[in-house]
Structure 1
Amino acid sequence: MSRYSKAALQQAYQHCWFVVARSQDISKPKSAVLLGKDLVVFRDKDGNARVTDRYCVHRGGDLAIGEVCDSGVRCPYHGWTFDGGTGKCTGIPALPDPAKFPPNAPAIRAYPVIERFAHVWTCLEEPMFDLPNPPEIQNLDLDWRAAEPIPVPIGFMAATENFNDMAHFAFVHAGSMGKVSPIVDAMQINRRGRELSTTIHYPSIPGSEFSSMGDAWMHYHAYAPGIATILYDYGEGGHRYLVDFPSPVGPESAIIYWGSATASDFKHGSADEILALETKVFDEDTPIVSRIVPKEVPLDGKVREFSCSADILTLNYRRAVMDVVDKIQERFGYVHSEAAE
Structure 2
Amino acid sequence: MRRMWWPVARSVDLDQPQPALLLGERLVVWRTASGQAVVQSRRCPHRGGDMTQGKVHGEALACPYHGWQFGAQGGCTHVPSLDDQAKRPAKARLDAYPVREQWGHVWTVLDGPGLDFYHVPVWEGVALDWMAGTPLDSTTGVAVAIENFRDVAHFPFVHEATMGPSPHVVEPLQVKRNGLMITMDRHLDAGTGEWAGDGDCEMHYHCAAPGLATITYDYGAKGRRVVAGFPSPMEYDHVMIFWGVANERGFKGSSLEQNCVLEEAVYREDLPIAGALEPREVDWDGAYEEHSVPADLFTLNYRRAFGDFVALAEKAEERA
Q: Same fold (TM over 0.5)?
A: yes
Check whether the contact 1:71–1:81 (CA below 8 A) recurs between aligned residues.
Answer: no
Matches within 5 A, 1:90-169: 90-102=77-89, 104-169=90-155
Check whether the contact 1:156–1:255 (CA below 8 A) recurs between aligned residues.
Answer: no
Q: CA deviation at 1:134?
A: 1.9
Q: Please identify, of 89-98 and 134-143, the stretch whose mean Cα deviation from structure 2 is larger.
A: 134-143
- Equivalent residue for 1:262, pick from 236, 243, 247: 247
Report the equivalent of 1:331: 316
What code does the residue aligned with 2:243 have?
Answer: W
What is the TM-score when the length of structure 1 is the normalising length?
0.90
SS in structure 1 of the partner of residue 278 of structure 2:
coil
Check whether the contact 1:246–1:257 (CA below 8 A) recurs between aligned residues.
Answer: yes
Report the equivalent of 2:267: 282
- Equivalent residue for 1:172, pick from 152, 158, 171: 158
Q: Deviations over 1:212-257 (max 9, x none)?
A: 3221111011111001111101112221011000000001111111
Q: Give the distance between the partners of 1:305 and 1:181, measured in 2 at CA.
A: 24
Report the equivalent of 1:240: 225
- Equivalent residue for 2:212, pick from 189, 210, 227: 227
Q: Deviations over 1:33-74 (max 9, x none)?
A: 000000000111111110000010111011000011123210
Report the equivalent of 1:338: none
Q: Deviations over 1:72-106 (max 9, x none)?
A: 2100111111112x10111111124232223x431
Q: Give the distance between the partners of 2:126 and 2:315, measured in 1 at CA.
A: 37
Report the equivalent of 1:10: none
| Structure 1 residue 18 corresponds to structure 2 residue 3 | no
What code does the residue aligned with 1:293 have?
Answer: E
SS in structure 2 of the partner of residue 333 of structure 1:
helix
* % identity of equivalent residues: 42
Q: Give the distance between the partners of 1:78 and 1:109, measured in 2 at CA.
A: 19
Check whether the contact 2:225–2:248 (CA below 8 A) recurs between aligned residues.
Answer: yes
Q: CA deviation at 1:192?
A: 1.7
Q: Deviations over 1:124-150 (max 9, x none)?
A: 002442222423223222221111010
Q: Deviations over 1:290-333 (max 9, x none)?
A: 11111001112222211111011011111111111111112313
Moved over 4 A (4+): none
Check whether the contact 2:209–2:309 (CA below 8 A) recurs between aligned residues.
Answer: yes
Report the equivalent of 1:41: 29
Report the equivalent of 2:237: 252
Q: Give the distance between the partners of 2:4 and 2:204, measured in 1 at CA.
A: 24
Change (3 A) 1:164 1:96: farther
Q: CA deviation at 1:283?
A: 1.5
Check whether the contact 1:17–1:127 (CA below 8 A) recurs between aligned residues.
Answer: no
What code does the residue aligned with 2:94 have?
Answer: I
Q: Give the distance between the partners of 2:296 and 2:113, measured in 1 at CA.
A: 30
What is the TM-score when the length of structure 2 is the normalising length?
0.96
Q: How many aligned positions are there?
A: 319
Report the equivalent of 2:188: 202
Check whether the contact 2:142–2:231 (CA below 8 A) recurs between aligned residues.
Answer: yes
Check whether the contact 1:239–1:265 (CA below 8 A) recurs between aligned residues.
Answer: no
Report the equivalent of 1:81: 69
Check whether the contact 1:16–1:127 (CA below 8 A) recurs between aligned residues.
Answer: no
Q: Please identify, of 24-33 and 136-145, the stretch whose mean Cα deviation from structure 2 is larger.
A: 136-145
Check whether the contact 2:210–2:306 (CA below 8 A) recurs between aligned residues.
Answer: yes
Check whether the contact 2:97–2:112 (CA below 8 A) recurs between aligned residues.
Answer: no
Query: What RMSD, in angstroms, separates the aligned Cα atoms of the two structures?
Result: 1.4
| Structure 1 residue 292 corresponds to structure 2 residue 303 | no
Q: Deviations over 1:187-226 (max 9, x none)?
A: 2222122111111111121x22213322111101111100
Q: Give the distance between the partners of 2:141 and 2:230, measured in 1 at CA.
A: 12
What code does the residue aligned with 1:324 have?
Answer: F
What code does the residue aligned with 2:186 have?
Answer: I
What code does the residue aligned with 1:95 have?
Answer: L
Q: Give the distance between the partners of 1:227 and 1:158, measured in 2 at CA.
A: 12
